[in-house]
Amino acid sequence: MASKVIHAYYNDDEVLMHAVKKVKAAKHHIEEVFCPFPVHGLDKAMGLEPTRLAITAFLYGCVGISVATLMMNFIMIEDWPQDIGGKPSFSYIENMPAFVPIMFELTVFFAAHLMVITFYLRSRLWPFKKAENPDVRTTDDLFLMEIEIHENESELRDLLAESGAVEINISEKNSH
């Protein structure tokens, strides 16, 4: 099912920020904003919820340190204990200072790799996915604000023109 959307183009990030605040104040829902570079504060101006990816990074780090601890305890203490440098392998606690670098590295390894996978899955970025960018000019020098139209086309067009849009287009958007 296709729906109509209005695309407002801006050539300055500060003008875009003021326009987003104006559109939100007028109680319109902004579907998406496409920018050639990150705009500081845009997420707050759009009213987006904070990300929970930091929580998952912490949990993945906990998984990494747990795997490191269990792996080193099994390999170096239970399965094949060795006397390395005069340090006998009688218990994990006695040898833990030697294991700290491995624990750190596996914590970072698990957190980093699982975060990349989580980010791609959460963003729905899989191999061979077609780009969803409606206009290639937004990768160069223009900012685009996309708003779905609900029988308020003339009101939206006037609001966006008054907010500093350099170009306003109406197009069909296919639902995903």
pLDDT digits (tens, 9 = 90+) for 50-60: 888 899 999 99
Helix (H), strand (E) at residue 167: strand 167-174
Are 134 and 172 found together in one domain? yes
Are 12 and 70 found together in one domain? no
Cβ–Cβ < 8 Å for 134, 146: yes
Report d(CA 9, CA 25) in Å as an integer.
19
Are 23 and 75 found together in one domain? no
pTM of the model: 0.71
Are 82 and 22 found together in one domain? no
Domain of residue 115 covers: 53-122
Are 37 and 90 found together in one domain? no
Tell me, yes or no, whether 153 lies in a domain: no
Are 32 and 92 found together in one domain? no
Tell me, yes or no, whether 22 lies in a domain: yes
Confidence of residue 33 (pLDDT cuts 50, 70, 90): very high
Q: Which residue has the tokens 């491995």?
A: 102
* pLDDT higher than threshold 70 for residue 175: no
Are 26 and 75 found together in one domain? no
Cβ–Cβ < 8 Å for 143, 34: yes
Are 39 and 59 found together in one domain? no
- Which residue type occupies 88? P
Q: State how beta strands 30-34 and 167-174 pair.
A: unpaired
* pLDDT higher than threshold 70 for residue 176: no
* pLDDT higher than threshold 90 for residue 150: no
The per-residue pLDDT of the chain, averaged, comes to 89
pLDDT of amino acid 2? 58
Are 32 and 11 found together in one domain? yes
Tell me, yes or no, whether 172 lies in a domain: yes
Higher pLDDT, 40 or 93: 40
Are 85 and 62 found together in one domain? yes
Q: State how beta strands 143-148 and 167-174 pair.
A: unpaired
Cβ–Cβ < 8 Å for 31, 5: yes
Instruction: Report how many domains make up the chain.
Output: 2
Are 75 and 102 found together in one domain? yes
Confidence of residue 174 (pLDDT cuts 50, 70, 90): low
pLDDT of amino acid 40? 94
Cβ neighbours of residue 21 under 8 Å, at least 6 residues apart? 45
Are 39 and 73 found together in one domain? no
pLDDT of amino acid 1? 47
What interhelical angle do 53-72 and 92-122 show, nearest 10?
140
Cβ neighbours of residue 16 under 8 Å, at least 6 residues apart? 10, 33, 35, 39, 42, 143, 145
pLDDT tens digits for range 112-136:
999 999 999 988 888 888 888 888 8
Helix (H), strand (E) at residue 18: helix 13-25
Cβ neighbours of residue 45 under 8 Å, at least 6 residues apart? 17, 20, 21, 24
pLDDT tens digits for range 51-105:
888 999 999 999 999 999 999 999 988 888 877 777 777 788 888 888 899 999 9
